[in-house]
A and B are shown apart, each in its own frame.
Chain A
Amino acid sequence: MATEAHGGEEGGLVFHPMDQFIVKPLFGGDTIEWYTITNATLWMAIAVLAIIGLMVLGTSRRATIPTRMQSIAELAYGFVYKMVEDVTGKDGVKFFPYVMTLFMFIVMANFLGLLPMSFTTTSHFAVTVVLALLVFLTVTIYGIAKHGTHFLGLFWVSSAPLPLRPVLAIIELISYFVRPVSHSIRLAGNVMAGHAVIKVFAGFAAIATISPVSVVAITAMYGLEVLVAFIQAYVFTILTCVYLKDALHPGH
């Protein structure tokens, strides 16, 4: 949509693949205050409603033989529960609602973002950085609260030869603090890149001779994006579990 508008304006192939990510107020006004209801707010709200629809309304019958909706909800529950239990162990199960919240929000936002004309909240670093920092802070605070200085054993590789340990400690320390960065940029970057590529292909569709190729490419990219939408949610969640494992069982 953005491309067409600009194409008409400037009379040529002009791509604005990033325009789809612009945050704008929904109900007029120019400034974006912290409380302004924007398109991002709208799609976060839609994600919340979709999650409530799936996880609460879908399971309202509590059927022993599940309906389709309930099946999906149970599948999501089982998927994340097993992940948390397998990676963090039995005592990590107390983090299950928290991990489930992250997973459901990311997977739902990713899929909703694939709808035409929608806004993808998870394509913004503002969102993913907060998600990643929440995990980072949870791991750090919980780890220190539970294990005290023993939590620092995470950086002191006791299985390595003694002279190597300080070097490894520095590397471990850096990798520990890089975690929230990679954790957040991986998600937003994947989602944003896919959407931008689709938009670029859509820009080529303005040329009649290329448009069939463009449509095929968009279709293929869309299929890939559906995959990415799930895989990135999965990756974010399983990394969360891996980091939580460090908080629960520091030391190698």
Chain B
Amino acid sequence: MATETHAAAGTAADAAHGAASAPGMPQLDFSTWGNQIFWLMVTLVVIYFVLSRIALPRIGAVLADRQGTIMKDIAAAEELKAKAFDAEKAYEKALADARSEANRIANETRAAIQADLDAAIAKADAEIGAKAAEGEKAIAAIRANAVESVSVVAKDAADAIVAAMGGKADAKAIEAAVTARMKG
């Protein structure tokens, strides 16, 4: 390949350039400049038109679209976030309501039970009081009975003692004595 190139360069019309280019820099072989410049201009013009007419507007539109989509998504996300926040607030409010309602019901129930309990206790107290009064009365009756029995027994005993002493008991005197004694 290189040999062929050199042959080509050697037989090139411009021998001076050929000689200069073989050991030196092909870049400085000015006989190729016109050709390169012409094709470069063609290349640049083609690239410029392809880019400015097709590629760049398209890519710009795609990037703008993406930016728009991202913005829209962010806005939607913000909205959803706000909604979630509201929902959470509503939930917490419902929870607090439920809790206060439960408290209220519990208090009411407690009060009702307390009232029932108080009534039952009062009733029981009254019953106990009645029973106790009855008992007192029975005890008083028994005591009275017992006092009478004691005075009878005492009179009889005094009568018997007096008789055993050989005297004749005076019923009235004995009764008076016993009564006096019992008062004392």
Chain B residues within 8 Å of A104, by CB: 47, 51
| SS of B interface (majority) | helix
- Known contacts A62-B61, A77-B63, A97-B52; is-contact A32 B3 (Cβ 8 Å): no
Asked if A5 and B35 make an inter-chain contact with CB atoms under 8 angstroms apart, the answer reads no
A18 within 8 Å of B by Cβ? yes
Say if the beta carbon of A74 comes within 8 Å of chain B. yes
Interface-central residue, B13, B35, B48, B69, by most chain A CB under 10 Å? B35
Majority secondary structure, A binding face: helix
> Is A197 in the interface zone, CB < 8 Å from B?
no
User: CB-CB < 8 A to B35: which residues of A?
Assistant: 23, 32-36, 38, 40-41
Is B77 an interface residue when CB atoms closer than 8 A count as contact? Answer: no
> Does A127 lie within 8 Å of B40, measured CB to CB?
yes
Give the contacts of B1-52 with A (CB-CB under 8 A): 1-3, 5, 8-9, 11-13, 21, 24-29, 31-44, 46-48, 50-52
Contact check, B61 vs A97: say whether CB atoms are below 8 A apart: no
Q: A19-B2, A47-B43, A55-B51 are in contact. Are A74 and B63 (CB under 8 A)?
A: yes
* A209 contacts B by Cβ under 8 Å: no
Interface check B56, CB cutoff 8 A = yes
Given contacts A9-B3, A62-B58, contact A18 B47 (CB under 8 A): no
Residue of A nearest to B9 (CB): A22
Q: Contacts A40-B36, A97-B52, A126-B36 hold; do A18 and B29 have CB atoms under 8 A apart? A: no
Partner of B59, one of A5, A25, A73, A130: A73
Q: Is the CB of A64 within 8 A of B62?
A: yes
**B93 interface residue, CB < 8 Å from A?**
no
Query: Which residues on the B side are within 8 Å of A126 (C-beta)?
Result: 27, 32-33, 36-37, 40
Give the residue of B8, B32, B62 whose beta carbon is less than 8 angstroms from that of A59: B62
A48 to B66, CA, bound (A): 28
